[in-house]
A and B are shown apart, each in its own frame.
Chain A
């Protein structure tokens, strides 16, 4: 199913047209190869810029959020509004001694941080930031995301195994068990949205939410899938309350105990970029992505919502999810391993399956509060 096949319902105000960078490049391939190459380079540069910008911005945001939660003044002081805090952090990390433990598997030890960073960078290219800003829109988008997303655990497993440290090894084993388990629940939640929207393409999913977001238009099933996805993806991120692979008070620092300086920074960058991609995906799947807030056939209201640029909608929704994930981190204690597994296999997974059933009933009976574009 191609995104452009979806016809917007007649009640919606503006007709949104998604043109990805890949599409532009393909269109120009026949006439001007240089233009195609230009699009190629521009998208690469764009992703690279976004990567570095997100790295800086998310660390800044995290420090500010943490500072406000914890009544700290440090990140408020370095530079105006603490803006130079990230610079200070980066400089400190760059100048730290970079070492590999003596008996460690040297090459794997050095490879692991790059593997960890690979996944979120690939996913950055798939996210629909706005109708005009998306690098590629795969028709198997969701499938690709779940397939690639599971690859991230490789970096952590290799890091823990190659470090020649028992604490790292325990952390890596925990990470393997945790991320692979929670992948199931996250995928089940994604499937609910696929059922609702009838497409796996990300921009198709965004288009399908023109007359209402799935979080509330999918009845309880949409909300339930949203919550499951939020919890499961927080676990995949290794963030509190699911940061047991790090567990800094138990395992010193878990899988990245033996990493210092820039290599450590890569792990953290991967975590932050991952947090962004997870938040962006949650916003895209359940909160309409860049799609403005529409209510059924209220054309005047919808038109006024359309006046706000779609990129702003996307940023707003993503930021809200990022804040929620940070909020988790700075208030929740850490779970224990068996509690974590209990939550996944005995709570989230059964609920996820039941939810999928409920969602299919909703789709079959076409019981939406607002008209839906026929897929």
Chain B
């Protein structure tokens, strides 16, 4: 575990919610390696997560508590599908008692498009553009998951130039995604200026993408066996000019929000989730790392050029909103470090090892490829019959779907405003949930 930063000083007493979430101390987690826990030999905390399968209808029409005239009455409100916090079309039904959240019922499905079903009629090349419409803030990284899956299954080689450009682009996109997330978090907590600052950085990085790829949002750039377009001659110069600016921006972020006492009060000790619980819920990405589990696919299972560069896996201590905030901020610094190490010598070579119209037929069986996106592990699982150019069945393992359920696990007992902070710290992208 490289570079664990002690992110917090817990001098202040923890503010407990009225129904405290079970917490696992760091001591209990110590001594169990992540690999062990991931391999299933240690089911840490699995017993604590009780899964109760109830239909949506049952949840929504469960009796509201009004036992006697002395108690208050619970009520249901819809947060979404059209609500500023929804960040898309996500409906979350809150069961409230005054301002206290009693129960959270996420109702996804408003942007369901049947992408996985559509992909069964598409060749592997054609699947790529669909992945960047899932999590449009990690488009390039999502492309890479398909590319990794196909390349590993069909044995397609790549070269250093392809992998270097892929890594740089993915890290740029991570910076872009985290910058936007930072702004949106600020806006959710009432600091509207932060939103526009985050957007400003996002647009500046977007211009670099636009020059190379021709798109700003849904960029299908990484293809199985290579890249769609080669970088422009001044790409490296432009990125190198951008990096110091982004460093300044992160300092500005710290000044504007991180140092603000109100902002810290809003995030510290809010919405704790411990590592075992986060693992049991299938969380990945900054949410898992904020809970103290140093699992980052880029370090645990290096792909691209990640095995050849120095970077730290940033982890938090308590797994509250502040840790999730700070892990992402630190990750931006690490992304800048990664790009700095790669940008100076992008190797020469072809940008694709296949011709674009080469048919790819995967061998019979299940094939899986995954990458670490800005929000966690994005995986592609394809079943191939060994004869068809299209997958027999395709499934996306999207990080946001798992991350969403953190809300149900931890939001009960907090107030509405804390719920906003929690959901904002999860950094959800809704189409990725609904697929």
Q: Does B43 contact A (CB under 8 A)?
A: no
| Given A333-B262, A336-B418, A337-B99, A166 contacting B188 (CB threshold 8 A) | no
Q: Residues 185-212 of chain B: 1 if any A CB is under 8 Å from the residue's CB, otherwise 0?
A: 0111111110011001000000000000
Q: How far is the CA of A331 from the CA of B263 in the complex (A)?
A: 11
Select A336's contact among B75, B187, B266, beta carbons within 8 Å: B266
| Given A166-B77, A250-B420, A339-B265, A240 contacting B190 (CB threshold 8 A) | yes
Q: Does B38 contact A (CB under 8 A)?
A: no
Q: Enumerate A314-372 residues with CB–CB distance to B below 8 Å.
A: 330-339
| Given A331-B256, A339-B265, A71 contacting B190 (CB threshold 8 A) | no
Q: Does B309 contact A (CB under 8 A)?
A: no
Q: Residues 51-86 of chain A: 1 if any B CB is under 8 Å from the residue's CB, otherwise 0?
A: 000000000000000100111100000000000000
Q: Report the minimal beta-carbon distance from B84 to chain A, rounded to whole angstroms.
A: 5
Q: Does B35 contact A (CB under 8 A)?
A: no
Q: How far is the CA of A243 from the CA of B266 in the complex (A)?
A: 14
Across-interface contacts of B200 in A (CB, < 8 A): 71
Task: Say whether B84 contacts A332, CB under 8 Å.
Answer: no
Q: Does B32 contact A (CB under 8 A)?
A: no
Q: Does A170 contact B (CB under 8 A)?
A: yes
Across-interface contacts of A338 in B (CB, < 8 A): 415
Q: Enumerate B11-59 residues with CB–CB distance to A below 8 Å.
A: none
Task: Say whether B262 contacts A337, CB under 8 Å.
Answer: no
Across-interface contacts of A247 in B (CB, < 8 A): 190, 417
Task: Say whether B77 contacts A336, CB under 8 Å.
Answer: no
Q: How many residues of B contact A (CB 8 A)?
A: 29
Q: How far is the CA of A247 from the CA of B187 in the complex (A)?
A: 10
Q: How far is the CA of A149 from the CA of B234 in the complex (A)?
A: 62
Task: Say whether B77 contacts A250, CB under 8 Å.
Answer: no
Q: How far is the CA of A243 from the CA of B192 in the complex (A)?
A: 12
Q: Mostly helix, strand, loop or mixed at chain B's interface?
A: helix
| Given A166-B75, A332-B262, A337 contacting B417 (CB threshold 8 A) | yes
Q: Report the minimal beta-carbon distance from B344 to chain A, rounded to whole angstroms.
A: 31
Q: Does A252 contact B (CB under 8 A)?
A: yes
Most chain B CB within 10 A, of A70, A243, A250, is at A250
| Chain B residue nearest in CB terms to A165 | B77
| Chain A residue nearest in CB terms to B84 | A249
Across-interface contacts of B190 in A (CB, < 8 A): 240-241, 243, 247, 249, 332-334
Q: Residues 205-248 of chain A: 1 if any B CB is under 8 Å from the residue's CB, otherwise 0?
A: 00000000000000000000000000000000000110110011
Across-interface contacts of B189 in A (CB, < 8 A): 249, 333-334
Most chain B CB within 10 A, of A166, A330, A332, is at A332
Q: Does A167 contact B (CB under 8 A)?
A: yes
Q: How many residues of A contact B (CB 8 A)?
A: 28
Task: Say whether A250 contacts B85, CB under 8 Å.
Answer: yes
Task: Say whether B196 contacts A170, CB under 8 Å.
Answer: no
Q: Enumerate B230-258 residues with CB–CB distance to A below 8 Å.
A: 256-257
Across-interface contacts of A66 in B (CB, < 8 A): 193
Select A170's contact among B99, B187, B263, beta carbons within 8 Å: B99
Task: Say whether A70 contacts B196, CB under 8 Å.
Answer: yes
| Given A330-B192, A330-B193, A170 contacting B186 (CB threshold 8 A) | no
Select B84's contact among A69, A248, A337, beta carbons within 8 Å: A248
Q: How far is the CA of A66 from the CA of B257 in the complex (A)?
A: 17
Q: How far is the CA of A334 from the CA of B188 in the complex (A)?
A: 9
Q: How far is the CA of A338 from the CA of B186 in the complex (A)?
A: 20
Task: Say whether A167 contacts B77, CB under 8 Å.
Answer: yes
| Given A71-B200, A333-B186, A333-B262, A250 contacting B416 (CB threshold 8 A) | yes
Q: Residues 415-428 of chain B: 1 if any A CB is under 8 Å from the residue's CB, otherwise 0?
A: 11110100000000
Q: How far is the CA of A43 from the CA of B127 in the complex (A)?
A: 72
Task: Say whether B75 contacts A249, CB under 8 Å.
Answer: no
Q: Report the minimal beta-carbon distance from A256 to chain B, rounded to whole angstroms.
A: 14
Q: Does B72 contact A (CB under 8 A)?
A: no
Q: Report the minimal beta-carbon distance from B96 to chain A, rounded to whole angstroms.
A: 8
| Chain A residue nearest in CB terms to B418 | A336
Q: Does B310 contact A (CB under 8 A)?
A: no
Q: How far is the CA of A202 from the CA of B99 in the complex (A)?
A: 40
Q: Report the minimal beta-carbon distance from A323 to chain B, rounded to whole angstroms.
A: 15
| Given A166-B75, A336-B266, A331 contacting B191 (CB threshold 8 A) | yes
Q: How far is the CA of A338 from the CA of B266 in the complex (A)?
A: 11
Q: How far is the CA of A252 from the CA of B75 in the complex (A)?
A: 17
Q: Report the minimal beta-carbon distance from B422 to chain A, rounded to whole angstroms.
A: 12
Task: Say whether B197 contacts A170, CB under 8 Å.
Answer: no
Across-interface contacts of A252 in B (CB, < 8 A): 83-84
Q: Report the minimal beta-carbon distance from B18 to chain A, rounded to whole angstroms.
A: 12
Across-interface contacts of A72 in B (CB, < 8 A): 196
Q: Does B4 contact A (CB under 8 A)?
A: no
Q: How far is the CA of A52 from the CA of B99 in the complex (A)?
A: 38
Across-interface contacts of B75 in A (CB, < 8 A): 166
Task: Say whether A333 contacts B417, CB under 8 Å.
Answer: no
| Chain B residue nearest in CB terms to A253 | B84
Q: Does B126 contact A (CB under 8 A)?
A: no
Q: Residues 69-80 of chain B: 1 if any A CB is under 8 Å from the residue's CB, otherwise 0?
A: 000000101000
Q: Report the minimal beta-carbon distance from B59 to chain A, rounded to whole angstroms.
A: 18
Across-interface contacts of B188 in A (CB, < 8 A): 249
Across-interface contacts of B388 in A (CB, < 8 A): none
| Chain A residue nearest in CB terms to B196 | A70
Task: Say whether A337 contacts B85, CB under 8 Å.
Answer: no
Q: How far is the CA of A70 from the CA of B99 in the complex (A)?
A: 32
Q: How far is the CA of A334 from the CA of B263 in the complex (A)?
A: 8
Task: Say whether B420 contacts A332, CB under 8 Å.
Answer: no
Q: Does B408 contact A (CB under 8 A)?
A: no
Across-interface contacts of B193 in A (CB, < 8 A): 66, 69-70, 330-331
Task: Say whether A71 contacts B85, CB under 8 Å.
Answer: no
| Chain B residue nearest in CB terms to A167 | B77
Q: How far is the CA of A251 from the CA of B415 in the complex (A)?
A: 12
Across-interface contacts of A335 in B (CB, < 8 A): 262, 265-266
Q: Does B260 contact A (CB under 8 A)?
A: yes
Task: Say whether A249 contacts B99, CB under 8 Å.
Answer: no
Select A250's contact among B257, B262, B265, B417, beta carbons within 8 Å: B417
Instruction: Sample 30 A-B pairs with CB under 8 A, ordered by A number.
Output: A66-B193, A69-B193, A70-B192, A70-B193, A170-B99, A240-B190, A241-B262, A243-B190, A247-B417, A249-B188, A249-B189, A249-B190, A250-B85, A250-B416, A251-B416, A252-B83, A252-B84, A331-B191, A332-B190, A332-B262, A333-B186, A333-B262, A333-B263, A334-B189, A334-B190, A334-B191, A334-B262, A336-B418, A338-B415, A339-B265
Interfacial residues, chain B to chain A (CB-CB below 8 A): 75, 77, 83-85, 99, 186-193, 196-197, 200, 256-257, 260, 262-263, 265-266, 415-418, 420
The 8 lowest CB-CB distance pairs between A and B, nearest first, are A334-B190, A333-B189, A333-B191, A70-B196, A336-B417, A249-B188, A249-B84, A333-B190
Give me 19 other A-B pairs in contact (C-beta within 8 A), A71-B197, A336-B265, A336-B417 excluded.
A69-B193, A70-B192, A72-B196, A166-B75, A170-B99, A240-B191, A241-B262, A247-B190, A248-B84, A249-B187, A250-B85, A250-B420, A252-B83, A333-B257, A333-B260, A333-B262, A333-B266, A334-B262, A338-B415
